[in-house]
Structure 1
Amino acid sequence: MADTAQYLTLGIDQELFGIDIRNVREILDMRPISKLPHSPEFLLGMIDVRGTGYPIVDLRAKLGLPRREPDDATRIIILDVPVKGRTLGVGFVADRVFEVTGLDADQTEAAPDVGGRWQSNYIAGIGRKGEAFIVVFDLERLMQSDDIPALDGLSIDRAA
C-alpha cells in the first residue's frame, strides 16, 4: 500500500499547486496588508493575526508572474516554513484555495528539468490527481534566496 500525503491544493494563474498540510497553520480571506519600505518585490508587507505579525509573500511575484488585483477567491495561507534550520511563520497569497487532497507517494514524480515555466528547484515533485497535475512546492527551497534577509526579524521563529 502506498504512503499517502495530504496537500492543500491552491491555484496560481492557471496552475495547480500543493503544499504539505503539515506546514499549513490556517487559511484567511484576503485583508489589508501593511506595506514595508524597501522590501523585495515578492514581499507584500505584514499582517497581524491574533497579535502575531506575519510577513506576506506574493506567490505570483515569487514565481515570476505578473501581479493581479485580489478578488473574492484570493486567500492568505499562513504557513510554518523551514528556513535555514529554523521554522518561520509566513503568509503566502494564492489566487484561490481548493481543498486538502491525498497524493500517493507512487503517484508523485520528481520535477522534470525541462526549462519550463517554473523553476524546478522550487518543486518537490509533481503529483497526479485524476487528469490534473499538482506541482508540489518545496517550501524551504522556495524561500531560499538572497531575499531571505528581508524576512529576518519580521516573522515569528517557531523553532523549539
Structure 2
Amino acid sequence: MAATSQYLTLGLAGETFGISIRNVREILDMRPISRLPHAPSFLLGMIDVRGSGYPIVDLRTKLGLPAVAATEATRIIILDVPMKDRLVGVGFVADCVFEVTDIDEQAIEPIPEVGGKWQSDYAAGIGRKGEKFVVIFDLAKLMAHDEIPEGRNAVADTSRAA
C-alpha cells in the first residue's frame, strides 16, 4: 500500500499549492493586520491570536506574484515554520483554502529541471490530486533567506501545556 501524507491545499493566482498538515496550526478568516514600519514588502505586519503575536506573510508577494485585494475567500493560515533550530509561528495569506487531502508520497515528483533560472527553491516537489498538480511548499526553504521579526510569543513553546 502506498504511503500517503495529508496536505492542506490552497489557491494562489489560480494554482494549487500544498502545505504538510503537520505544520498547520489553524486557518483564520482575513482580518485587519497591524503594519510594521520598514518591513520587507512580503511582510504585511502582525496579528494577535488569543494573546500571541504572529508575523503575516503575503504568499503572493513572497512568490513574486502580483498583489490582489482580499476577498471573502482569502484566508490566513497560521503555521509552524522551521527556522534555524526552532519552529516559529507565522501566518501566510492565501487567496483561498481548498481542503485537507491525501497525496501519495511516492508520486511526488521533483521540480522539473528546465534550464535557466526558475524560482522553484521554495518547492519540495509536485504532487498530484486527480488531474491537478499540487506544488508542495518546503517551508524551511521558502523562509530561509528572510528574517521575520518575532512576535512576543511567536516561537512554538512545546514545554508548556496549553
TM-score (norm 1): 0.93
Kindly report which structure 2 residues correspond to 1:19-34, keeping only aligned pairs within 5 A, or say none. Answer: 19-34=19-34
Q: Is the 8 A contact 2:54 2:150 kept in 1?
A: no
Q: Is it true that 1:6 corresponds to 2:3 in the alignment?
A: no
Name the SS of the counterpart of 2:78 in structure 1: strand
Partner of 2:150: 153
Name the SS of the counterpart of 2:64 in structure 1: coil
Structure 1 unpaired stretches of 5+: none
Q: Is the 8 A contact 2:74 2:95 kept in 1?
A: yes
Which moved further from structure 2: 90-99 or 111-120?
Answer: 111-120
**CA deviation map 1:46-78 (0-9, x unaligned):** 000000000000000000011110000000000
Aligned positions, number: 157
Q: Is the 8 A contact 2:46 2:54 kept in 1?
A: yes
d(CA) in 1 for partners of 2:4, 2:39: 38
In 2 relative to 1, CA 13–117 (structure 1 residues): closer, same or farther, beyond 3 Å? Answer: farther
Q: Is the 8 A contact 1:86 1:159 kept in 2?
A: no
The residue type equivalent to 1:41 in the other structure is S
In 2 relative to 1, CA 33–152 (structure 1 residues): closer, same or farther, beyond 3 Å? Answer: closer
In 2 relative to 1, CA 117–90 (structure 1 residues): closer, same or farther, beyond 3 Å? Answer: farther
Task: Please report how far the alpha carbon of residue 107 of structure 1 lies from its aligned counterpart in structure 2 after TM superposition.
Answer: 1.4
Partner of 2:105: 105
- CA RMSD, aligned part only? 1.6
d(CA) in 2 for partners of 1:62, 1:7: 20
Task: Please report how far the alpha carbon of residue 111 of structure 1 lies from its aligned counterpart in structure 2 after TM superposition.
Answer: 1.2
Task: Please report how far the alpha carbon of residue 40 of structure 1 lies from its aligned counterpart in structure 2 after TM superposition.
Answer: 0.1
Kindly report which structure 2 residues correspond to 1:29-108, keeping only aligned pairs within 5 A, or say none. Answer: 29-108=29-108
Structure 2 unpaired stretches of 5+: none
Name the SS of the counterpart of 1:106 in structure 2: helix
Kindly report which structure 2 residues correspond to 1:132-147, keeping only aligned pairs within 5 A, or say none. Answer: 132-145=132-145, 147=146
d(CA) in 2 for partners of 1:53, 1:36: 12
Task: Please report how far the alpha carbon of residue 30 of structure 1 lies from its aligned counterpart in structure 2 after TM superposition.
Answer: 0.1
d(CA) in 2 for partners of 1:17, 1:117: 21
Question: Structure 1 vs Structure 2: percent identity of aligned residues?
Answer: 66
Name the SS of the counterpart of 2:69 in structure 1: coil
Name the SS of the counterpart of 1:109 in structure 2: coil
Q: Which runs of 4+ in 1 moved over 6 A?
A: none
Name the SS of the counterpart of 1:120 in structure 2: coil
Q: Is the 8 A contact 1:2 1:105 kept in 2?
A: yes
